[in-house]
Amino acid sequence: MQLYNTLSAEERAQLIDEAGKQRLTLSFYAYAKISDPKKFRDELFIAWNALDALGRIYVAHEGINAQMSIPADQIEAFRNTLEVYDFMKGIRLNVAIDQDDHSFLKLTIKVRYKIVADGLNDETFDVTNKGIHLKAQEFNNLMGDPNTIVVDFRNHYESEVGHFEGAITPDVETFRESLPIINEQLQDFKEDKNLLMYCTGGIRCEKASAYFKHQGFKNVYQLEGGIIEYTRQIKEEAIESKFIGKNFVFDHRLGERITDDIVSQCHQCGKPCDNHTNCANEGCHLLFIQCDDCKVAMENCCSTECLDIIHLPLSEQVKLRKGKEVGNKVFRKGKSETLKFKKSGDSPNKPLAKVETKNIRQKIAVKKVLVGKAEHYYTKSKIAQFLIENNEISIGDKVLISGPTTGEQELRISKIFANGGACETGKIGDQITFEIPFRIRLSDKLYKVLG
């Protein structure tokens, strides 16, 4: 019986593209009493692997916490695999707004001590004595009460790109860290203020609300289903969004736009920007905010030091990396002295700018000719392969890569490799490769921009 992944992320991405089926990104959690988490884990793996379900899932004695990608046509079958368990009957699945077929490329189910690292000693208080759950409209109403304090229970890099208006956004790197800090900050308000708490999907508040009640807070409320469910409700019921900016998410998208407000700055130049990225130096991988201009100038690096490193031969880079503990790479907490405009825990109440809505007319005005189609993407070296079917492409040409997931991305070609060697021009029938600062999809088309 297969209980673990056998495909690489790259192979999986290719299979998904070839299948051409729509997938849904979703999340859910449930607190429960699970006597044998290992057995529970294996049962889930077998059931989900059969449905081609992917994701990152934690199970523990205290429950389950899952972020997943499910084939859209298997969603009912997937729900059935959950409803086998009493504690997941009627469970709410938080479905993401932006859909990306590549949000997860593996099925990883891990047994952990806890489903959220909260650092709490659960024996010392009643975890079932939770705060009052609020729906979006109720949350908005209570926010308007001058007696209310709104607290963001997420980490600094999450609240930095989006948060509720006027919320306290603690400068913490982990949920565990935030609990005593908030308790301290709000010492004097335990009796008479409403403590309104929220997080991404509700899981962190679920137990924290019980903890704060135990700490003596009288009026504890939590946003039911977190920002994800709030967003769904405000859209469905046309409620005003009091959340501004983006909702940070833990898959490769790194954020879902909720409103067109930008509340953060590019960490390198200070321009309003809310696009998180990871430093291109594999030995650094720092999570930080970088605008398009800085991305080009710095080649997606967080510092000149990293920029120097990525220009070294790969073998040198590997040598430098040796012995350095990168740890939790993708989400290495975005703090570094070189980032001048990083503002942790100090969120502006008013947006800094609005997202520029793309001018459709202008887009059509871009003159372009179809050159070819995407054939492959080499994740490790960030290289794209295209097959040239029409026209030619030369060094110095401006190209447009376009597709449903990629959107429209323009760049200028500085090097081309065709049929195994560097060349000036790729001709019809050539398979060409070049470096690219983003992942292309097999559905992408390559255009040459004219004029």
Residues catalogued as catalytic: 199
Q: What minimum distance in Å lies between the beta carbon of 302 and Zn ion?
A: 3
- How are beta strands 398-403 and 445-449 bridged, if at all? antiparallel
In the set 49, 74, 281, 300, which binds Zn ion (CB under 5 A)?
A: 281
Sign of CA dihedral 225, 231, 233, 234: positive
13 lies in the site for Zn ion, by CB under 5 A: no
Q: Binding segment for Zn ion among 148-156, 260-268, 354-362, 371-379 (CB under 5 A)?
A: 260-268
User: For residues 27 and 344, which CB has a smaller minimum distance to Zn ion in the complex?
Assistant: 344
DSSP notation for 279-315: -S-TTT--EEE--HHHHHHTTT-SSHHHHHHHTS-HH
| Distance between start and end Cα atoms, the chain | 59
- Own/partner pairs, 232-235, CB within 8 angstroms, 24+ separation: 232/94, 232/95, 232/97, 233/135, 233/136, 233/137, 234/136
Question: In this structure, are residues 375 and 387 in contact, taking their beta carbons and an 8 Å threshold?
Answer: yes
| Torsion from C-alpha of 29, 34, 40, 41, nearest 10 degrees | 60
286 lies in the site for Zn ion, by CB under 5 A: yes
279 lies in the site for Zn ion, by CB under 5 A: yes
The residue type found at 258 is I
302 lies in the site for Zn ion, by CB under 5 A: yes
In the set 284, 371, 374, 401, which binds Zn ion (CB under 5 A)?
A: 284
294 lies in the site for Zn ion, by CB under 5 A: yes
User: How far is 110 from 378, CA to CA, in rounded Å?
Assistant: 28
268 lies in the site for Zn ion, by CB under 5 A: yes
Q: What minimum distance in Å lies between the beta carbon of 284 and Zn ion?
A: 3
What are the backbone angles phi and psi of residue 72, rounded to the nearest 5°?
Answer: -55, -35
- Closest of 175, 59, 163 to residue 108, by C-alpha: 59
136 lies in the site for Zn ion, by CB under 5 A: no
User: For residues 176 and 329, which CB has a smaller minimum distance to Zn ion in the complex?
Assistant: 329
Query: Which are the contacts of 358, defined by CB distance < 8 A and separation ≥ 6?
Result: none
Indicate the DSSP class of residue 241.
Answer: P
Q: What minimum distance in Å lies between the beta carbon of 336 and Zn ion?
A: 7
In the set 60, 150, 298, 306, which binds Zn ion (CB under 5 A)?
A: 306
262 lies in the site for Zn ion, by CB under 5 A: no
287 lies in the site for Zn ion, by CB under 5 A: no
User: For residues 196 and 279, which CB has a smaller minimum distance to Zn ion in the complex?
Assistant: 279
User: For residues 268 and 344, which CB has a smaller minimum distance to Zn ion in the complex?
Assistant: 268
Strand order in the sheet with 94-95: 94-95, 23-31, 63-71, 54-60, 107-111
440 lies in the site for Zn ion, by CB under 5 A: no
Q: How many residues does the chain have?
A: 451
User: For residues 68 and 306, which CB has a smaller minimum distance to Zn ion in the complex?
Assistant: 306
User: For residues 269 and 387, which CB has a smaller minimum distance to Zn ion in the complex?
Assistant: 269
In the range 92-121, which residues lie near Zn ion by CB under 5 A?
A: none
Q: What minimum distance in Å lies between the beta carbon of 273 and Zn ion?
A: 6
Quote the crossing angle between the two packed helices 75-83 and 37-50, to the nearest 10°. Answer: 160
228 lies in the site for Zn ion, by CB under 5 A: no
Q: What minimum distance in Å lies between the beta carbon of 408 and Zn ion?
A: 21
Q: What minimum distance in Å lies between the beta carbon of 285 and Zn ion?
A: 7
266 lies in the site for Zn ion, by CB under 5 A: yes
Query: Count of CB atoms within 10 A of residue 147's CB?
Result: 10
Q: What minimum distance in Å lies between the beta carbon of 157 and Zn ion?
A: 15
User: For residues 34 and 284, which CB has a smaller minimum distance to Zn ion in the complex?
Assistant: 284
269 lies in the site for Zn ion, by CB under 5 A: yes
Question: In this structure, are residues 291 and 277 in contact, taking their beta carbons and an 8 Å threshold?
Answer: no
Residues in contact with Zn ion by CB under 5 A are 266, 268-269, 279, 281, 284, 286, 291, 294, 302, 306
